[in-house]
């Protein structure tokens, strides 16, 4: 009988440790979600599609790849933001969609590496509503206008418009001040500031060689993705180098940048062990390339 309290206590602490472990694992995992403001769209109307990716600290920065969506068209370039928070880094992309194809469609899930997917989004693209129960109005004959009557009534419209304007101004000036909460969102930083801060941290982190080159390439890929809109996060190094030809770098600058990126591949796949001088040169090349791209239109 004396062993029962001890057994119950052991079960309680084991359960508590299990819950704590599951909670910690859930907080550290990456996540991705997508959503639209409304699921019913008129032909030619635009709607923003928002995709958010939460990347925990110490994980490589990555984003979903979007090429096209059946029955929908892109309007302009996406707006990308990076927000640092206590759980790591939040990447947010806002894409403007429109459609000229009526029907019931489904925006498919967007997949992040690691098997994470967003939910699919049902969308109805419709023409403007027509009420079949509304009374039918036949075409009327042309009626003659009464100029004298219009001259007498114009000031009624002017008075009504002036009264409406006064009412709007009163409502604007009497609008309550917004309630200020204690929640403070981290400011959105520019692509250049984010890249330079990442390089500064990497320089002082004393990371091992493979992690150093992986992080160095991630910083550059995220910069050109946010600054130039290049879909570089899921591309191979060779595909990325082909895209970089369009940025306007000189041949010497382009060759040095391509060499630094390919060196990272050699290190990651254990084909080459660079010296400290090689690491420093790759770091400076990436940094100078970012600063040069920032100056280009």
Q: What is the pTM of this model?
A: 0.43
Q: What is the pLDDT of residue 123?
A: 92
Mean pLDDT of the chain: 79
- Averaged over 112-136, what is the pLDDT? 75
Same domain, 37 and 121: yes
Q: How large a percentage of the chain has pLDDT more than 90?
A: 19
202 against 60, higher pLDDT:
202
Rounded CA separation 71/105 (Å):
7
Q: What is the pLDDT of residue 21?
A: 42
Rounded CA separation 195/266 (Å):
23
**How many folded domains does the chain comprise?**
2
Q: Is the pLDDT of residue 273 over 60?
A: yes
| Residue 157 resides in a domain | no
CATH value at residue 94: 2.60.40
What lies within 8 Å, CB to CB, of 90 at 6+ separation is 52, 53, 54, 55, 82, 83, 84
| Residue 161 resides in a domain | no
User: What are the residue ranges of helices labelled H in the chain?
Assistant: 3-28, 147-173, 191-205, 209-228, 237-244, 251-268, 276-295
252 against 135, higher pLDDT:
252
Beta bridge partners of residue 93, listed in sequence order:
51, 80
Q: What is the pLDDT of residue 19?
A: 44
| Residue 61 resides in a domain | yes
Residue after which a domain boundary falls, among 105, 126, 147: 126
DSSP state of 231: -
Largest separation between any pair of C-alpha atoms in the chain: 107
In tens, the pLDDT along 252-270 reads 998 999 998 888 888 887 7
Instruction: List the domain range (segments joined by +) for residue 53.
Output: 29-126
Same domain, 113 and 203: no
In tens, the pLDDT along 183-205 reads 555 568 899 899 999 999 999 98
Q: What is the pLDDT of residue 287?
A: 92
Q: What is the pLDDT of residue 196?
A: 92
Rounded CA separation 1/140 (Å):
99
Distance from the first to the final alpha carbon of the chain = 81
In tens, the pLDDT along 2-47 reads 555 565 555 544 544 444 444 444 445 788 889 999 999 888 889 9
Q: What is the pLDDT of residue 57?
A: 79
Q: What is the pLDDT of residue 144?
A: 61
Residue after which a domain boundary falls, among 126, 155, 176: 126
Taking only Cα atoms into account, the Rg of the chain, rounded to an integer number of angstroms, comes to: 29
- Averaged over 82-108, what is the pLDDT? 86
Q: What is the pLDDT of residue 269?
A: 78
| Residue 64 resides in a domain | yes
Identify which of 88, 274, 266, 67 has the alpha carbon closest to the alpha carbon of residue 186: 88
What lies within 8 Å, CB to CB, of 119 at 6+ separation is 33, 34, 109
CB 218 within 8 A of CB 210: no
In tens, the pLDDT along 201-252 reads 999 988 898 899 889 989 999 988 998 888 777 778 888 888 888 888 899 9
DSSP 59-73: S----------TT-E
Classified as helix, coil or strand, 286 is helix
Residue after which a domain boundary falls, among 109, 126, 143: 126
48 against 150, higher pLDDT:
48
């Amino acid at each position: 009988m004396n062993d029962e309290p001890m057994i119950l206590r052991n079960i309680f602490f084991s359960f508590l440790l299990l819950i704590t472990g599951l909670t910690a694992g859930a907080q550290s995992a990456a996540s991705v979600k997508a959503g639209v403001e409304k699921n019913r769209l008129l032909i030619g109307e635009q709607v923003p599609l928002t995709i958010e990716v939460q990347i925990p600290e110490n994980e490589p920065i990555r984003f979903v790849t979007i090429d096209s969506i059946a029955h929908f068209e892109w309007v302009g370039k996406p707006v990308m933001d990076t927000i640092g928070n206590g759980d790591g880094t939040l990447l947010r992309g806002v894409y403007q969609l429109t459609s000229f194809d009526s029907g019931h469609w489904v925006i498919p899930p967007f997949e992040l590496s690691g098997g994470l997917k967003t939910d699919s989004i049902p969308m109805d693209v419709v023409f403007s509503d027509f009420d079949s129960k509304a009374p039918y109005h036949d075409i009327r004959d042309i009626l003659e206008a009464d100029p004298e009557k219009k001259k007498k009534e114009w000031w009624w419209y002017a008075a009504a418009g002036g009264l409406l304007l006064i009412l709007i101004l009163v409502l604007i000036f009497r609008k309550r001040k917004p309630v200020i909460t204690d929640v403070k969102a981290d400011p959105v930083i520019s692509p250049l500031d984010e890249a330079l801060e990442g390089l500064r941290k990497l320089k002082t982190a004393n990371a091992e060689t493979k992690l150093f080159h992986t992080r160095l390439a991630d910083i550059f890929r995220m910069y050109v993705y946010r600054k130039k809109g290049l879909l570089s996060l899921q591309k191979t190094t060779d595909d990325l180098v082909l895209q970089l030809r369009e940025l306007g770098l000189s041949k010497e600058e382009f060759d040095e940048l391509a060499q630094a990126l390919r060196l990272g591949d050699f290190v990651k796949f254990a084909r080459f062990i660079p010296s400290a001088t090689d690491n420093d040169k790759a770091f400076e090349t990436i940094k100078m390339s970012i600063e040069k791209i920032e100056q280009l239109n």
